[in-house]
Chains A and B, each alone.
Chain A
Amino acid sequence: MSRISKSFIAYTVLLCMFTVHVLLDTFVITRVYGDQTSSAGSGTSVMTEEEEAVSTGNSYKDENISVTVSEYRENDTDIYVADVQLSSPEYLQTALAQGVYGRNVKEETSTIAENNNAILAVNGDYYGAREAGYVIKNGELLRNTSAGREDLVIYEDGSWKIVSENEVSAEELLADGAVQTMSFGPGLIENGEISVGVNEEVKQSMSSNPRTAIGIIDDCHYVFVVSDGRTDESAGLSLYQLAEFMQGLGCTTAYNLDGGGSSTMYFNGEVINNPTGGKAGHGEGSERSVSDIVYIGY
Chain B
Amino acid sequence: MRKERKYYIENIVKAKRYLIASIVLALAGAVYEMFSHGIYSNHMIYAFMYPLAMGCLPYLADNRGIIKKAGHLSEVLLLAAIVTLSIGSVIRGVLEIYGTTNFLTGAYTLLGALLIIGAAAVCLINMRLAALSHKDSSALRASE
Contact = CB atoms under 8 A, between A and B. Distances in A.
Contacts of A27: 98, 100
A4 B101 CA distance: 34
Interface stretch (A69-77, A87-95, A110-118, A124-132): A124-132
Given A4-B76, A5-B76, A18-B107, A204 B97 contact: yes
B38 A126 contact: no
Interface SS of chain A: helix, strand, loop or mixed? helix
A209 B37 CA distance: 8
A23 B91 contact: yes
A25 interface: yes
Contact of B38 (A8, A19, A22, A206): A206
Contact of B39 (A4, A8, A11, A205): A205
Contacts of B105: 22
B62 to A, nearest CB: 20
A204 B39 CA distance: 5
Given A4-B76, A15-B84, A22-B91, A131 B41 contact: no
A258 B10 CA distance: 52
Contacts of A130: 99-101
Given A15-B84, A204-B96, A260 B39 contact: yes
B73 interface: yes
Interface residues of B, number: 29
A206 B33 CA distance: 12
B86 to A, nearest CB: 10
A208 interface: yes
A204 B40 contact: yes
Contacts of A26: 95, 98, 100, 102
A5 to B, nearest CB: 7
Interface in B73-97: 73, 76, 79-80, 83-84, 87, 91, 94-97
Contacts of B111: 15
A8 B72 contact: no
A131 B103 CA distance: 8
A230 interface: yes
Interface in B94-131: 94-105, 107, 111
Contacts of A129: 98-101
